[in-house]
Amino acid sequence: MHTVPLEWLDRYSAWLIPAGLVLAGLLLGILVERLLISRLRKAAARTAWAWDDFLLEALGHAPLLLFAAAGTYAAARVALPEGIPRDPLNKTLVVLVLLAVTTVAARAASRAARSWLSRSTTSLPASSLVTNLVQFTVYLLGGLLILQALDIAISPILTTLGIGGLAVALALQPTLANVFSGFQILAARQVRAGDYVHLESGEEGYVTDVRWRNTAIRGLFDDHVVVVPNSKLADSIVTNYHLPRRVLWARCDVGVHYDSDLEHVERVTLEVARDVVREVAGQVFDLEPVLRFHTFGASSIDLTVRIPVEEFSKQYRLRHEFVKRLHRRYREEGITIPFPIRTLEVPPEIRVRTVAD
């Protein structure tokens, strides 16, 4: 009665055990990710230490891949006939493990570098250029370890790279110029991610990132991204509205009638400006609006009001509110904003001829 199953087992036993090992590796990897890693991530989120978050986030699906590779390695060891060398199989497993470890280390180092640079006072701010350089360094070290594990001599490779480095540098001269310009921009700390800048060529917006070859600038109103090569940005005249501090002075020009009481105009205008600062301008410390009369215009006495505002983008709403409130308050106070007037004086000896004449 048991002849058929035994024959079936004898026929397929050479494949059942390797397949079972592969399946066991996959299941074990899934269990580790679902049960162990997920719980460790929840526990790490409750701690104040950041490195556990970096490491667990960098793991990704590495545990699943490693357990699957281990199961496949064990299956291959069982399935290979006797007499076939196992050394290539062993090296393949070592390479897979080194690749996984290198990938995890590069992700963790990149995230840690970004977090540390964002909190530190060093000359290099957090940007893609710095974090990509950290990742490249880790991958380079991992690649050297993999070559060593494969018994490949590293010295001839380094010698060849040294000889060909000059040709590569000449071929990649524009790219290298942008890379070094990017480091110059970061080291000077005069253009940083989050700053609002205006270039001499007319482009302006918020700096979103400094990358290997270019700097991305996002427009204030249309959200379009302007990509500026780092070498061009380093040679350009740049106005940074966030240096030395974010607070800036929004300018509003006003003209009042010549018959106006200027003391009254000054008092009313500054009251409106202070109300706008209190409700719209944001955190401007102890700065107060400033009013200065400056010109006897053609039809009005002109004055300028400078109002402190917390951040560049807020100045447009601040001007909007200031114009509306000042117009309403001038009407209530009887202050006239004149239309342009031109007075013509005709000498009496010149007779103006009319149609009736």
- pLDDT tens digits, residue range 248-258? 888 999 999 99
Residue 76 belongs to what domain range? 16-152
Instruction: Name the average pLDDT for the chain.
Output: 77
CATH number at residue 279: 3.30.70.100
Whether residue 219 is found in the same domain as residue 108: no
257 φ/ψ sector (left φ>0, alpha ψ -120 to 50, else beta): beta
Asked if the structure places residue 356 within a domain, the reply is no
Q: What is the pLDDT of residues 298-308, one digit of tens each?
A: 889 999 999 99
State the average pLDDT over residues 131-140. 80
Whether residue 198 is found in the same domain as residue 271: no
Whether residue 130 is found in the same domain as residue 24: yes
Whether residue 77 is found in the same domain as residue 205: no
C-alpha pair distances (Å), 169 with each of 16, 90, 132, 172, 184: 55, 38, 19, 5, 19
Helix (H, G, I), strand (E, B) or coil at 202: coil
Whether residue 197 is found in the same domain as residue 233: yes
Q: What is the DSSP letter of 2?
A: -
CB distance 211 to 239 below 8 Å: no
Whether residue 90 is found in the same domain as residue 134: yes
CATH number at residue 220: 2.30.30.60
pLDDT at 8 > cutoff 60:
no
The whole-number pLDDT of residue 124 equals 52
Radius of gyration of the chain (CA): 36
Asked if the structure places residue 134 within a domain, the reply is yes
Residues 136, 321: Cα–Cα separation, whole Å: 50
Q: What percent of the chain has pLDDT over 70?
A: 74
Asked if the structure places residue 340 within a domain, the reply is no
Among 152, 176, 211, the domain-final residue is 152
Asked if the structure places residue 35 within a domain, the reply is yes
Whether residue 22 is found in the same domain as residue 136: yes
Q: What is the pLDDT of residues 94-103, one digit of tens each?
A: 777 788 788 8
Q: What is the pLDDT of residues 227-243, one digit of tens each?
A: 888 888 888 888 888 88
Number of domains present in the structure of the chain = 3
Residues 106, 112: Cα–Cα separation, whole Å: 10
Whether residue 217 is found in the same domain as residue 263: no
Asked if the structure places residue 272 within a domain, the reply is yes
CB distance 114 to 128 below 8 Å: no
The whole-number pLDDT of residue 257 equals 92
List the strands of the sheet with 204-210, edge to edge.
225-229, 214-218, 204-210, 196-199, 238-240
CB distance 63 to 32 below 8 Å: yes
How does DSSP assign 95-123, residue by residue? HHHHHHHHHHHHHHHHHHHHHHHHHS-SS
Whether residue 29 is found in the same domain as residue 78: yes
Whether residue 96 is found in the same domain as residue 200: no
Helix (H, G, I), strand (E, B) or coil at 258: coil
- Rounded to two decimals, the pTM is 0.58
Q: Which of 97, 225, 219 is nearest to 149 (CA)?
A: 97
Tell me which of 25-39, 162-176, 313-327 is least confident: 162-176
Structure tokens, 252: 């509003």
Asked if the structure places residue 5 within a domain, the reply is no
Whether residue 21 is found in the same domain as residue 148: yes
Structure tokens, 194: 């989050």
Asked if the structure places residue 160 within a domain, the reply is no
CB distance 197 to 241 below 8 Å: yes
pLDDT at 135 > cutoff 70:
yes
Q: What are phi and psi of 249, to 5 degrees?
A: -105, 120
Among 219, 240, 261, the domain-final residue is 240
The whole-number pLDDT of residue 1 equals 45
Q: What is the pLDDT of residues 95-129, one digit of tens each?
A: 777 887 888 788 777 777 777 666 655 555 556 66
* Comparison of pLDDT for 247 and 291, the residue scoring more: 291
Whether residue 88 is found in the same domain as residue 104: yes
Among 205, 240, 275, the domain-final residue is 240
Length of the chain, in residues? 357
Largest CA distance in the chain: 140
Asked if the structure places residue 182 within a domain, the reply is no
Q: What is the pLDDT of residues 259-295, one digit of tens each?
A: 999 999 999 999 999 999 888 877 777 888 999 999 9
Residue 36 CB partners (closer than 8 Å, separation 6+): none
Helix (H, G, I), strand (E, B) or coil at 228: strand
